[in-house]
Structure 1
Amino acid sequence: MDSRRRLSIRCLTGLGFLLSSVAFLSLTADRWREPRLNLKNVEPATKVRVFTAPKTNVWADLRPDEADEVYKFLSKEWVDLNITRTPRHTLDSFIYTLETLQPNKSDVLPYLWTQESAPPQRCAKAVLSHALDGRAHYSYHAVGPLPVSPDTRVVPLTFPFTSGRHYVSKDMPDMVSTMEFCRSLAESVADITTELLGARVDRDNPNGPDSLLAFPRTTWNDAGHLFGWVQFFRPGYNSGANSILPQGIYARIDAVDGSSGGEGEDTDADWKVGEWFYNGVLYENLNKFRAAVFEPGFLKTPPNVDGPWTDTENFDASPDGRELPPPISIQPLGPRYKLDRKERYVSWFGFEFYFTSTQATGVSVHDVRFKGERVMYELSLQEAMAHYAGDDPMASGQEFLDSFFGMGTNAFELVPGYDCPAYADYLDSHLHRLGKTERLPSNICLFEFTSDHLLSRHTTATSVTVSRNTFLTLRSVSTVGNYDYTIDYVFYLDGAIEVKVRASGYIFGAFYARNAHKTEDEYGHRVHDALSSSLHDHVISFKADLDVAGTANDMVHLAVEPVTKTYPWDQPHFGRRNTMHLREYPVERETGLDWPKNAGEFYLVYSSDKKNAWGERKGYRIVSGTGIGSTPHLTVVNSTVLADAARWAEKDLWVVRRKDTEPRGADPFNYIDPVNPLVDFTRIANGEDLVHDDDNETSPTADGDDSYDGDLVIYFNVGSHHVPHSGDVPNTLAHTSASSVLFVPHNFADRDPSRESVQGVRLQLKHKREGAGFPGQPGGGDGDDDDDEEPSEEEEELKLRARDGNGNGREGKGGHHKLHTGANYFGTPYRRGVNLPLEALEPDLEKAYQSGSHRVSDLSSNGSAAGMRFQEP
C-alpha cells in the first residue's frame, strides 16, 4: 500500500469533521484565567488554583506555529503549482484556508473514556484554490500526520462529502474585474442615474452622499455562465446602510468566464448587458431605456436618500431617565466556573465541556457531561440560511448560505460590558488564510449570569422558598454583511442546554416602486419613502450528537392524546370518561420532523439501557425554546435557487444515524454549486433503519458496516419567518428576532439536580397554633412574635426534616443547615458590601477594544463573499 493511500485511510479512521476549529487558544502559562479587572478593594474569593483539563482538546485549531509549518510543507509538496500568498487572479494557486481536520468520533471516544488510548492522530485540512483544466477550483486536502515529519503526506479529502468529490468549480470572475465592470456599467448610464436619482458613481468619493454603488447578484450558475442582475444602491454615507438604500434600477447581465477556455487563455470575463428594469417596466436594451427616461411625462419613482433615519443611534435624545446609567450585572467575588484557557475546557456546577471554533461555522461545543454522565458529544452550527422573496430582479432570487462567508471568519471582537458583561472571560481566535495567520481578539466570551426570573419558587402558609436562576453562557457574534448573529450556548443548573440565536442589523430591503403592480403588501411592508421590507426566512441549522448516558440511544414521540376510557372504580355511576393519556411512538427510521400541533408530542432521546433509580429510562427532551415563537423551517417548497444545497431546511428537526463519513449536514461550498452540492443532506437523512441491538453500545459503528449501535444525531433549526416592519428600521431588534431550542433532562436524574447547586432562600414565617383556621388564614395564627410560644406544626416539621434517616439530628455533621424561623439560605449570600472600580461597571472602551477595523463580508460580489480580496495588478 503506497504512502498516499495509507494517509487517506489514517485520516479517514482518525479524523473527519468537515470544517474544524479556528479558535486557537493563547498559550499562557496560567491555565486558569486572566483577570480582566483589578479588583483591589473587593472581598477575596477562594484562592485561585490552577485548573487543567483532564484530556487534550483534540478539536482545537492549529497553533500559529503549526500552521506555518504546514504552509511550508505544502509549498514544497505543491511546488509545481507555484503557491502564492498574494493572489491576484482566480486562476492563481493559493491556500484559501487552513485549519485542523477534526478527528472522527470513533477514534476520539476511546481516548476520552479509557486511560490506555492515545489521542487520535492530528491532521490539517487545507482548501486549495487552483486551476484545473483551465478553470478555477476549490479543493479539500488532508495533511498529516502532524507535526510535520518524513511521514507527513497530503491527499485529497473525500470521505466527508456525499458527492464523492473533494472539489467545486469557481465559475465566477474575480472581485476586481467584477466590481470594475459594475462601476463601468454605472458610469455608462450616469445621465440616467442623475436624471432619476440625482446621483452617479463617483470614483473619487465612492461613499459620498451623492454617489452610487452598483452590486451584482447572480441568480443562476451554469457551466461557466453567470446570469444575474446589477442593482444600484446608495452607499449609506452616514451609517453604511446600503442594504436599505436600493434605488430601483436593474440591469440584466450575462458573464461568460474566460477561464472556461484552455490553459493560458485570456481569463477576463466577457460581460454582456441585456434588459433593464425600472418601476415595473422591462426594457429590451439600454437604448430603449434611455429613450423612455427622457421622454416627456416619464413616470419617475422617488429615490431612497440617506439621512438621520438610517442612523442606528441617537446621541441627542434625552427622555426622562436617560441621564442615569441603567442597572448592570456585576461579579464582585470572581467566577464560579473553572476555565482552562489553553485547552478551552470548562467546568461549572456539574457541567464539563470543551469548545473550539471553525472558520465556516464558528464556535462549537464538545464532550458535554453533566454530573459525570455523558449528554452530548458535539453541539455545533452547520449552516445559516436567509431565503428572500420579492417581485424585483434582486429580491426574488436572493438567498445566502452564510457559512460560505464564514461565521467564524466574521466573528469579530466583542464589546465588553455590552455584548457580554465586563467580568466575562474573553478569548481570541486565529484564522489561517492565504498563508498568513490573523488574530481575532476577544471574539468569544464566557460568563455566568443570573436571570431576572427565578428557577423555582413556592409559597406555603408559613414559608416562601425562592431559587435564583443562574446559568452559564458561551457567546460569539458573527457579522455577515448586513446581519449580526449573536449565538449562545447556555447551560442551566438542572442540566438543560439551550442553543439561542438573536439577529440584529440592517434588513436587506427592496425598492418600493409606485406603479400599478404595487396593489398590496405581497412581499413586505412599505417602511420608508421608497423602501419596502423583504419577506425572508432565516433557517439556521445546528447538529446535536446526543449521547444520553452513553452512545446507544433511541428517539421516541411521547404523544399526549385524547382518549375515552372506562374505569372499574367509576361504575356504575359514571360510564365513560373523555380524558387524555400518554402514548409512545418509536422513531425507527431516519426522518424529518416538524414541531407538533398544540405541542401535543414530546420528542425524547432516551438511553437504550440506562435507567434512573425509579426504573425510568434516562432521557433528554427536545423542545422549541425561549424565543418569540416556535422555530421554523423553510416556507419555500423545492427552492429553485437553493436546489439541493439546503434540504435540511425543509423540516424543523431530523434524526439520523451517526457516521464518521457524515460529519456535517452542509458544506460552505454548497453555495457555489447548489445543483450538485458537495454535501447533499438527502443522502444523509435517507431513511436508514434506527432499530439496533442494545448490546452493541460500546464501540461506534464503523462506516461501511451494516450494523447500527444506536448512536444517533439530531439536526435542528432555529430562526424566524421574518416579515420586517417599521420597527425594523433602522435595525432589527434582537429581542424580537430571538429563537432557540432547549434540551431538557427527562428522567435523567433521580430528582431535580439543581437543588444541589442553586442559590436561594427559604423564609420561615412565624405563627401560632391556636385557632381553628389554617395558619395564615382567618381564624388561624396572628403571626405575633412570641419566643415563649410552643413550637408550631410547621416548626415541628422542620425539626423532622433536619434529621437523617435514623432520626438523628444532621446539623452537627456535614455542615447541614439547622432550619429555623426566619431566613434560611441555601448557597452563600452576600454578607457585606464591596467596593468596585469603575471599569467593573463601565469598561474604558477606548482602551479595552483592540480592533482597528473589521473585515465585514461584502455580500455584493463573489470575491468578497469568498473572503478573497485580490490585489489590483
Structure 2
Amino acid sequence: MELKGRPGVVNLLTAAVLLFGSVTFLIFALYPTSANIEYGSRQKKTFNAPRQNVWSELTEDEAADVNAFIIKQASHLNLTVHPKSAQDNFIFIVETLKPNKTDTAPYLYEDDAPKPERWAKAAVSQNFEDGPYMVYYQVGPLPITKDSQVLPLNYMFNSGRNYVRNPMYDFGAIQDFALSMAENVSDITQELLGATANREDPTDPRGLLAFPRGSRVETGGMILWMQFYRPGMGSGARTLLPQGIYAKVDATNSDINQWTVGEYYYNGVLYENEHEFRAALDDPDFKRTPANIDGSWTDTEDFGDYPDRDLPPPVSIQPYGPRYKLDRKERFVSWFGFEFYITTAQSTGVSLFDIRFKGERVVYELGLQEAMAHYAGDDPMQGGLEFMDSFFGMGKNMFELVPGYDCPAYADYLDSEWHQAYKTHNMPNSVCVFEYTADYLLSRHTAQYSVTASRNTFLTVRSVSTVGNYDYTIEYVFYMDGTLEVKVRASGFIFAAFYTANSTKSEDEYGHRIHDALSSSMHDHVLNFKADMDVAGPKNDMVRLAIEPITKNFPWDQPEQPKRNTMHLVEYPVIEETGMDWPKNSGEFYIIYSNETNAWGERKGYRITPGTGMGSTPHLTILNSTTLGDSARWAEHDIWVLKQKDTEPRSADPLNYFAPHDPIIDFTKMADHESLEYGAPDTSYDGDLVVYFNLGAHHVPHSGDIPNTLMHTSSSSIMLVPHNFADRDPSRQSVQGVRLQLSGRKAGGFAGEWFAGDESKSLARHNGDLRVRGEKKAETKAKYFGATYEKGMKVPVEAFEPDLSGYVSHSDDVGGLNFTGFGRGEALGG
C-alpha cells in the first residue's frame, strides 16, 4: 500500500492511554543521586571501558539535533514542534537505531576496525487519506552533518512496510465519549452500583469511570467493549475494582461522531440496548449483583502494630565498596572475568551487549523483546483482553528504584533517558548494579578429615518496569563459574474480573472468587528475550543432547546379565530454524556449541535451561489466539533457534499492537525453517545463530494475590550454563571461602604444606598436593581462600537502612502514571 494524501496526526501515546483508560498512580520515587555507599579505606581506581558503547541511547543534545534535522529535511511532512490538535503532525519518538552486528563485530573483535556509524530511529505521526499512521524513519549518520539523511526505515520489518495504521488517536474525544455514554445510563448505574460518572472530576473516588477494550475488525476499524470501574485512588487498585456493567461501542467509523452504543451486558445477560436494559430493571425476576466497593482490603501496606515487627530484618552490607568495576559514561561493567555493556531502549528496557567471560565471547546481545499478557474469561472485558507492554514502554516505565528495598543500599544506580515529542525524559536511578552473597553456598564438601565451604557471590543488573497495574522486576545475574541467569519477577495488582451472581454459570472456569464481588482472572504472562549467542566465537551450532533409556548387552556382563536396562546420551543436531518446548522429565539438554575445544578435546558450549524460578518457563496456552493474530507467534513455544540476520534484529515491534493480524514484524517469517547446517550445500548459514526464549507464568490468581501478587511466587528464569566451556570450574579462581582441617590422625594438610618425617612426601611443598598425609597427628586449623573481614570495622546505619524521609523524585514523569503504564497522560492532540 502506498501512503498518499494530506498530512494529519496519529498519537501513539494517547492511543495507548485510550485503549485502557488513564489513572494516576502514586509511586515511591526516591534517592535523586547514586546511592552507592562505601566504607573502609580501600579506594576505587579509575576504570575505563576498552571501547565506546556504540549501543548507548541518544543524548539530549543528539535527540534535539535529530528532531531539528527531520523538521528541516522532511519539510513535506508539515511537522509541528508544538502539536495542539488532532490535525497536527509531529515527531513522536527518537532513539538510537542499534548498529548492525556485521558492522559492530569487527570494531569489537578486530584491531584497527572502524567504529560503526551512529544512526537514530524516529517514529513520526502522520495522517493520510485513509486515516492516521505511525511511520518509522532512520536518521544519520550522527552527528548531523551535510552527509546526514532522513530515510524510510524498512530493512528490519518483514511486512515490507515501515508504517502501521493507528485505529484510534484522539484520546480527549474518546474520554468525552465514554463520559457521555456513562451519563446516558446514570440512572442505571446509580440503581445498580450506587454511583455515577463525574464529568467535573473523573477521578472522584465516589464516582465511576469507563475503560474500553478494543478489538480490530476486518474493515480496519474498532469494536469497543467498555466496562465501568471505580477509580481506586487510595492505592491505585483500579484493576481490582471492576463493576459488572459493560457497553458495546461500534467504532468502525474513523469519525468519532458516528460511533454508536449498542448492546449492554450485565450478570450474564446480554441486552440489545440501554432501553431494554433499563426495562429489565423493573422485572421482579431481575437478578442483581453486589457492587465492588473499595476499602482497606486493597491497601498494599498495613501500618498496624503487630508482634515480631519490633526488630528490623537482616540485611546485606558492602563494607569495602564494590569489587566490580564500572565505567559510568560507557555503561561498561567488569566483574571476576565477566565484561559487558549496558544500554536501554524506550520499548524494551535494559539490554546487555558483548558479554565475555575470561576474555572469551559468550553472548553478543541479551535483552527483552516483548512482554505479553493474555487473559481468558466469559465477560466482554476479560474474554478478549491482552497487553503487549513494549507498546506502552518497558523502558519508559523504568521508574526510580528504592535503595535498600529494590536493591541493596550500597548498589550503584544508573539513570536512563528517553525522548518523546521533542522532550527528553530523565529517569534517575532506574537501573542498579550490585554484588550480593546468597544464603546458600556455591559449593561445599565434607571429607573424612576436612570440610570446605565456598561462598556463592554473584553480580546483578536490575530494573523495575511499572506498566500500569504490574511491576516487572527484570534482572541479569552473573555467577563466578560463567553462568548467566535472566530472571523476571512480577508484583502489583492483578487485572481482576467482576464476580457475577448468576448461578447458572461455572464461576471457577476462569478463576476463583477472591472478594465480595471480585473474581480472579486466569492469564498467561509470556516475556520474550533474545540471546544472540557467540559461544567462543560467532560460529556455533545447537544440539539436543538427550538422556534416553536403552537395553544393551555388555561382554563383561555375561552370562549373569544377558541384557542390561540402562541409559545413554544421544545427540540430535538442530538442523533448521525451529521452536522447541522444554522436554518431558528434563530429558534433553539444549546446548549451543562452538567448534573450539577445551583441553580435553570437548567442544566448548553453553547450555540453556530453566533456571531458579517456579519451575519450567511457559509458553502461551491459547492456540491461534483470535486476539493476538500473528503479532506474537514467538509465544507459542518455549525456545527458538534462528539464523542471525541484520534484517531480523527483533522478534517483535511495539506497533504490532496496532495491527495484530497484519503485524509490522511477523515472527513466523523469521522462524521459517531455514537451514542451520554450517557448511552444508545450498545454505548461506555461517554458523551465527540466535536463541529466543520465553519467561513468564500461567497465572491463576487466588486470595493470596490480594492486594498484590508476591514476587517469590511469580518468578521465572533461564540460565545459560557453561558446558565444557573451560578446562575445569573457573570459579575456583574467584570464589572465597574456608577449608577447615579437622582433628584426627593422618588428617592431611593444606596446599603447599610440608610434613616432616618422610622426604618422599616433601613434594607437597612444591605441587600443593592436599592428599599427602603426615606421620603425626595434624594440627586442627582453618585456612581461608580470599580476604576476610577485619576487626574494629565501623559501618554507618545508612548501610542497613537508608534514610528515605524527605526524598522526592527528580523525574518529571512519575506521579502521573496511568492505567496503561504511561507517565503523564496528557494527550497530545487530545
Both structures adopt the same fold (TM-score exceeding 0.5): yes
The offset of 1:113, in angstroms, is 1.1
The offset of 1:586, in angstroms, is 0.4
In structure 2, the partner of 1:545 is: 532
SS of 2:391's partner is coil
Q: Say which of 308, 323, 332 aligns to 2:296.
A: 308
Q: Say which of 53, 57, 77 aligns to 2:53.
A: 57
Any residues of structure 2 matched to 1:423-442 within 5 Å, and which?
423-442=410-429
Q: Is the 8 A contact 1:172 1:224 kept in 2?
A: no
Instruction: Find the aligned partners of 1:179 and 1:805 in 2 and give their Cα distance.
Output: 87
Any residues of structure 2 matched to 1:655-804 within 5 Å, and which?
655-693=641-679, 707-768=684-745, 792=746, 794-795=748-749, 799=753
SS of 2:278's partner is helix
The offset of 1:571, in angstroms, is 1.1
Instruction: Find the aligned partners of 1:165 and 1:84 in 2 and give their Cα distance.
Output: 24
Any residues of structure 2 matched to 1:308-327 within 5 Å, and which?
308-319=296-307, 321-327=308-314
Q: How many residues align?
A: 787
Q: Is the 8 A contact 2:417 2:426 kept in 1?
A: yes
**RCO (CA 8 Å, sep 6+): is it higher in 1 or 2?**
2
SS of 1:192's partner is helix
Q: 1:410 to 1:57 in 2, by over 3 A?
A: same
SS of 2:585's partner is helix
Could you list the per-position Cα deviations for residues 179-203 of structure 1 after superposition, in whole angstroms to 9, with x for gaps in the alignment?
A: 1110111111111111000111123
Report the AA paired with residue 835 of structure 1.
Answer: K
Instruction: Find the aligned partners of 1:811 and 1:341 in 2 and give their Cα distance.
Output: 43
Could you list the per-position Cα deviations for residues 605-634 of structure 1 after superposition, in whole angstroms to 9, with x for gaps in the alignment?
A: 000x20000000000011001001110000
Instruction: Find the aligned partners of 1:746 and 1:868 in 2 and give their Cα distance.
Output: 49
In structure 2, the partner of 1:76 is: 72
SS of 1:665's partner is coil
SS of 2:260's partner is strand
Q: Say which of 248, 252, 260 aligns to 2:248.
A: 252
Q: Is 2:237 the counterpart of 1:280?
A: no
SS of 1:689's partner is coil
Instruction: Find the aligned partners of 1:866 and 1:238 in 2 and give their Cα distance.
Output: 18
The offset of 1:92, in angstroms, is 2.0
Could you list the per-position Cα deviations for residues 530-551 of structure 1 after superposition, in whole angstroms to 9, with x for gaps in the alignment?
A: 1000010000000000000000
* Larger mean Cα displacement after TM superposition, 381-390 or 84-93: 84-93
Instruction: Find the aligned partners of 1:302 and 1:363 in 2 and give their Cα distance.
Output: 44
Q: Say which of 802, 807, 814 aligns to 1:854.
A: 814
Instruction: Find the aligned partners of 1:312 and 1:358 in 2 and give their Cα distance.
Output: 30
Instruction: Find the aligned partners of 2:204 and 2:313 in 1 and give their Cα distance.
Output: 36
The offset of 1:348, in angstroms, is 0.1
* Larger mean Cα displacement after TM superposition, 74-83 or 635-644: 74-83
Instruction: Find the aligned partners of 1:522 and 1:373 in 2 and give their Cα distance.
Output: 51
Instruction: Find the aligned partners of 1:517 and 1:330 in 2 and give their Cα distance.
Output: 58
The offset of 1:35, in angstroms, is 6.6
Instruction: Find the aligned partners of 1:130 and 1:344 in 2 and give their Cα distance.
Output: 35
Report the AA paired with residue 763 of structure 2.
Answer: G
Q: Is the 8 A contact 1:90 1:174 kept in 2?
A: yes
Instruction: Find the aligned partners of 1:303 and 1:638 in 2 and give their Cα distance.
Output: 35
Q: Is the 8 A contact 2:409 2:799 kept in 1?
A: yes
In structure 2, the partner of 1:183 is: 179
Could you list the per-position Cα deviations for residues 781-837 of structure 1 after superposition, in whole angstroms to 9, with x for gaps in the alignment?
A: xxxxxxxxxxx252398747999999373599xxxxx99741110110112142122
The offset of 1:205, in angstroms, is 3.6
Q: Which runs of 5+ in 2 are unaligned?
A: 1-32, 769-773
State the TM-score, normalized to the length of structure 1. Answer: 0.87
Q: Is the 8 A contact 2:521 2:700 kept in 1?
A: yes
Q: Say which of 200, 204, 213 aligns to 1:204.
A: 200
The offset of 1:757, in angstroms, is 0.3
In structure 1, the partner of 2:622 is: 636
Any residues of structure 2 matched to 1:536-575 within 5 Å, and which?
536-575=523-562
Q: Say which of 840, 844, 869 aligns to 2:803.
A: 844
Instruction: Find the aligned partners of 1:93 and 1:560 in 2 and give their Cα distance.
Output: 60
Instruction: Find the aligned partners of 2:762 and 2:142 in 1 and give their Cα distance.
Output: 60
Q: Say which of 527, 534, 539 aligns to 2:521.
A: 534
Any residues of structure 2 matched to 1:322-337 within 5 Å, and which?
322-337=309-324
Instruction: Find the aligned partners of 2:755 and 2:216 in 1 and give their Cα distance.
Output: 72
Q: Is the 8 A contact 2:483 2:719 kept in 1?
A: yes
In structure 2, the partner of 1:97 is: 93
The offset of 1:238, in angstroms, is 2.0
Instruction: Find the aligned partners of 2:173 and 2:598 in 1 and give their Cα distance.
Output: 65
Report the AA paired with residue 168 of structure 1.
Answer: V
Q: Is 2:136 the counterpart of 1:133?
A: no
Instruction: Find the aligned partners of 1:641 and 1:820 in 2 and give their Cα distance.
Output: 72
Instruction: Find the aligned partners of 2:781 and 2:630 in 1 and give their Cα distance.
Output: 65
In structure 2, the partner of 1:397 is: 384
Q: Is the 8 A contact 1:37 1:840 kept in 2?
A: no
The offset of 1:872, in angstroms, is 7.2
Q: CA RMSD in A?
A: 2.3
The offset of 1:48, in angstroms, is 1.8
Q: 1:839 to 1:68 in 2, by over 3 A?
A: same
Q: Is the 8 A contact 2:467 2:822 kept in 1?
A: no
Any residues of structure 2 matched to 1:571-650 within 5 Å, and which?
571-607=558-594, 609-650=595-636
Q: Is 2:329 the counterpart of 1:375?
A: no
In structure 1, the partner of 2:332 is: 345
Runs of 4+ in structure 1 displaced over 4 angstroms?
800-806, 864-868
SS of 1:727's partner is helix
Could you list the per-position Cα deviations for residues 561-596 of structure 1 after superposition, in whole angstroms to 9, with x for gaps in the alignment?
A: 001111111112221110111110100011100000
The offset of 1:664, in angstroms, is 0.4
The offset of 1:760, in angstroms, is 0.5
Could you list the per-position Cα deviations for residues 673-719 of structure 1 after superposition, in whole angstroms to 9, with x for gaps in the alignment?
A: 0111011000000000000129x9xxxxxxxx952111000000000
SS of 2:366's partner is strand
Report the AA paired with residue 73 of structure 1.
Answer: F
Instruction: Find the aligned partners of 2:508 and 2:600 in 1 and give their Cα distance.
Output: 57
Q: Is the 8 A contact 2:617 2:717 kept in 1?
A: yes
Q: Is 2:826 the counterpart of 1:869?
A: yes
Instruction: Find the aligned partners of 2:217 and 2:632 in 1 and give their Cα distance.
Output: 17
Q: 1:869 to 1:257 in 2, by over 3 A?
A: farther
Q: Is the 8 A contact 1:224 1:257 kept in 2?
A: no
In structure 1, the partner of 2:790 is: 831
Q: Is 2:500 the counterpart of 1:513?
A: yes
Any residues of structure 2 matched to 1:387-536 within 5 Å, and which?
387-536=374-523
Q: Say which of 782, 788, 807 aligns to 2:763.
A: 807
* Larger mean Cα displacement after TM superposition, 74-83 or 244-253: 74-83
Instruction: Find the aligned partners of 1:866 and 1:307 in 2 and give their Cα distance.
Output: 26
Instruction: Find the aligned partners of 1:308 and 1:378 in 2 and give their Cα distance.
Output: 45
Could you list the per-position Cα deviations for residues 759-795 of structure 1 after superposition, in whole angstroms to 9, with x for gaps in the alignment?
A: 1111111113xxxxxxxxxxxxxxxxxxxxxxx2523
Instruction: Find the aligned partners of 1:706 and 1:461 in 2 and give their Cα distance.
Output: 58
SS of 1:682's partner is helix
In structure 1, the partner of 2:781 is: 822
* Larger mean Cα displacement after TM superposition, 286-295 or 553-562: 286-295
Instruction: Find the aligned partners of 2:118 and 2:112 in 1 and give their Cα distance.
Output: 18
The offset of 1:209, in angstroms, is 3.1
The offset of 1:223, in angstroms, is 3.5
The offset of 1:858, in angstroms, is 3.6
Instruction: Find the aligned partners of 1:855 and 1:166 in 2 and give their Cα distance.
Output: 34
The offset of 1:328, in angstroms, is 0.7
Q: Is the 8 A contact 1:232 1:247 kept in 2?
A: yes
Q: Which runs of 5+ in 1 are unaligned?
A: 1-33, 259-266, 697-704, 769-791, 813-817
Instruction: Find the aligned partners of 2:86 and 2:110 in 1 and give their Cα distance.
Output: 48
In structure 2, the partner of 1:171 is: 167
Q: 1:87 to 1:223 in 2, by over 3 A?
A: farther
Q: Is the 8 A contact 1:479 1:856 kept in 2?
A: no
Any residues of structure 2 matched to 1:10-29 within 5 Å, and which?
none
* Larger mean Cα displacement after TM superposition, 189-198 or 838-847: 838-847
Instruction: Find the aligned partners of 1:194 and 1:805 in 2 and give their Cα distance.
Output: 94
Q: Say which of 106, 111, 115 aligns to 1:110.
A: 106
Instruction: Find the aligned partners of 1:411 and 1:866 in 2 and give their Cα distance.
Output: 10
